Chain A
Amino acid sequence: MTGRSIAAERHGGASTPVFPDVRGLATIGAARGGTFVPLGRTDRTSSELTWNWENDTVAVYKTSEFRKGLKVQIDGEPYLMIEMNFVKPGKGNALYKCKLRNLIRNTVIDRTYKGGDSLEAADVEETEAQFLYRQGDTFVFMDSKTFEQYELSADQVGDNWKYLKDGMVCNMVLFNGNPITVTPPNHVILKVEYCEPGAKGDTATNVTKPVKVETGAEFPAPIFINMGDLIKIDTRTGEYVERVKN
């Protein structure tokens, strides 16, 4: 897994001056004090070309830039644009029908924007972070590259606490530099701390019993599993995959 800086992509994109439609056109067929001047100039001055981008604190996506994969901010929360459809009645306003996934709560919303609307870009970045330790309801991680430490609440970690072993490298998503989600590797190997004794010779995997692992979580596992065994769990489903040789 490689850390991928989405923020860097965004800044790269925004540094190209993207002209608001109106400005581009206004220099050609311009309105001057309400009077139409058909002989407008077609050049752009250098000050217009370097317009404001450096002073702009918030990068903004205009509807004409809307596309799948955009990370935007709505009501202070980061969203991923997972679908974008352009619809326009022949004699009506252009509409941009978007499906957006909330990157914190994973919920999907439908929003429709009209031509000329815009959305703030979200400063979202993915990084790798090592789980250090848990203290009560606080989970402490360290960025593998910057060594910066982050504290996540039990709420933010959600069900993923079940898989977190000291030193485990997880994928972390930062929004405005603060962690919002942490995702363990797809498969983790955990040591069984307690379970009922295994039935010798019974290798059936469809009959299960609860086993308690080193993180304190319980998973259903086949009845032949014993205390001290190492088992592989799929973190996306919470299902037992296989026993791992010690």
Chain B
Amino acid sequence: MPSFAPSASWEVLRRRAELFASLRRFFDERGFLEVETPLLCRDSVVDVHLEPFVVPLLAEEGGLRYLQTSPEFAMKRMLAAGAEAIYQVTRAFRRGEQGRWHNPEFTMVEWYRVGDDLRAGMAHLAELADRLLGQVPREQSYAEAFRESVGIDPLEAPDEELSEAARVRGWNGSSHDERDDWLDFLFATVVVPSLRADVPILLYHYPASQAALARLAPDDARVAERFELFFRGVELANGYHELTDANEWRRRAESANERRRKRGRPPIPVESWLLEAMEQGLPPASGTALGFDRLVMTALGKESLAEVMAFPWDRA
């Protein structure tokens, strides 16, 4: 095939469109409102490991804007302004993420429902997985999956034990290493490959240090009410019982920026429309983001995103 042509076959692109239709029916049946939010915003999710594309503008146009790494901030502003159940199919952009399972520009499905807690959020994602993948996911806590494959308790093990476990498995450490570096490494190279490939799995209760925008578990401050869906060794979705405490988010965003500085990455503004919305009052809710290209890839048994996207990065 010449490189001007799509890298995915027409058969795959047709199946992809069917999955889209099926996904929209799923949300419509449940009374979710489909919404749209801007891609070029003044603020962006503050995360140590998410690098937004920064779009420079003239000073009189406001300096710069961020291509959204997810529609999270804008959708939560809608929740604070009265939305009850919303979903969106959009493009998300993440700088530097490119590989077999990564494309810097990708399709994301994100939804929120007011009143849902961790269990309800997981149940909703499980129903969606059942509809689109034809299988109900198995559930396991992050710590249990970690203990089963690595043989170490990720919540209790001292730093030295984790760093040594990472080192013997090929981690090339440095003095800047943090606990999450070893956890992420062991998770990505030991835990995920050991998950059963034939059944989707929902992992929940991530370590509190990886809470991102999830609230901590009320009965166990070591873990966050965060869950992820995996299938065929690929991370498909990430969900939270949402953090609603503005002060806590300000504290986490500042700490994320501090860690970004240490790693030589530019900070992302802590002041944001979201923070304003949270100060106003964000209703309790659960929200999930799903990588649609990866879902298509695993649903069709394909090995790379290029097989399920018309024009991946190198053809865009």
Q: In the assembled complex, which residues on chain A have CB atoms less than 8 Å from the CB atom of B238?
A: 90-91
26 residue pairs from A and B, CB less than 8 Å apart: A21-B51, A25-B266, A28-B56, A31-B267, A34-B261, A36-B268, A38-B62, A38-B64, A40-B63, A40-B64, A64-B96, A86-B100, A88-B97, A90-B289, A90-B291, A92-B49, A92-B180, A92-B188, A93-B181, A94-B97, A97-B189, A111-B172, A112-B170, A112-B171, A115-B49, A117-B172
Interface footprint category on A: 35 or more
What is the chain B residue whose CB lies nearest that of A112? B170
9 tightest CB-CB pairs across the interface, nearest first? A86-B99, A92-B184, A42-B56, A39-B63, A22-B264, A38-B63, A110-B170, A28-B54, A29-B266
- Most central of A20, A87, A110, A112 by chain B CB within 10 Å: A87
Q: Mark B156-192, 1 if CB is under 8 A from A, else 0.
A: 0000000000000111101000001100110111000
The listed residue (B64, B96, B169) touching A29 by CB distance below 8 A is B64
How far, in angstroms, from A77 to B82 measured CA to CA in the complex?
62
Show the binding face of A for B, using Cβ within 8 Å: 20-22, 25-26, 28-31, 34, 36, 38-40, 42, 64, 85-95, 97, 109-117
A161 CB, nearest partner CB in chain B, Å = 35
Q: Is the CB of B210 within 8 A of A92?
A: yes
The reply on B25 being an interface residue by CB < 8 A is no
Q: Is the CB of A90 within 8 A of B172?
A: no
Q: Is the CB of A114 within 8 A of B181?
A: yes
How far, in angstroms, from A93 to B185 measured CA to CA in the complex?
8
Q: In the assembled complex, which residues on chain B have CB atoms less than 8 Å from the CB atom of A93?
A: 48-49, 180-181, 184-185
Q: In the assembled complex, which residues on chain B have CB atoms less than 8 Å from the CB atom of A30?
A: 266
Q: A88-B99, A114-B185 are in contact. List 4 more A-B contacts (CB 8 A).
A: A28-B54, A40-B64, A112-B172, A112-B189
How far, in angstroms, from A93 to B98 measured CA to CA in the complex?
13
What is the chain B residue whose CB lies nearest that of A21? B96
Q: How many A-B residue pairs have CB under 8 A?
A: 114
Q: Is the CB of B56 within 8 A of A117?
A: no
Given contacts A28-B64, A38-B64, A117-B174, A94 and B96 within 8 Å (CB-CB): yes
The listed residue (B48, B56, B184, B261) touching A95 by CB distance below 8 A is B184
Q: What is the total number of residues of chain B having a CB less than 8 Å from a CB of chain A? A: 46
Q: In the assembled complex, which residues on chain B have CB atoms less than 8 Å from the CB atom of A20?
A: 264
Q: In the assembled complex, which residues on chain B have CB atoms less than 8 Å from the CB atom of A112?
A: 169-172, 185, 189
How far, in angstroms, from A22 to B263 measured CA to CA in the complex?
9
Q: Which residues of B in the span 237-251 have a Cβ within 8 Å of any Cβ on A?
A: 238
The reply on B252 being an interface residue by CB < 8 A is no
The reply on B265 being an interface residue by CB < 8 A is yes
What is the chain A residue whose CB lies nearest that of B257? A36
How far, in angstroms, from A38 to B238 measured CA to CA in the complex?
30
A218 CB, nearest partner CB in chain B, Å = 42
The listed residue (A64, A89, A109) touching B188 by CB distance below 8 A is A89
How far, in angstroms, from A28 to B52 measured CA to CA in the complex?
12
Q: Is the CB of A87 within 8 A of B96?
A: no
Q: In the assembled complex, which residues on chain A have CB atoms less than 8 Å from the CB atom of B210?
A: 91-92
How far, in angstroms, from A113 to B184 measured CA to CA in the complex?
12
Q: In the assembled complex, which residues on chain B have CB atoms less than 8 Å from the CB atom of A39?
A: 59, 63-64
Q: In the assembled complex, which residues on chain A have CB atoms less than 8 Å from the CB atom of B54?
A: 25, 28-29
Q: In the assembled complex, which residues on chain A have CB atoms less than 8 Å from the CB atom of B98?
A: 86
How far, in angstroms, from A20 to B264 measured CA to CA in the complex?
10
Q: Is the CB of B180 within 8 A of A36?
A: no
Q: In the assembled complex, which residues on chain B have CB atoms less than 8 Å from the CB atom of A34?
A: 261
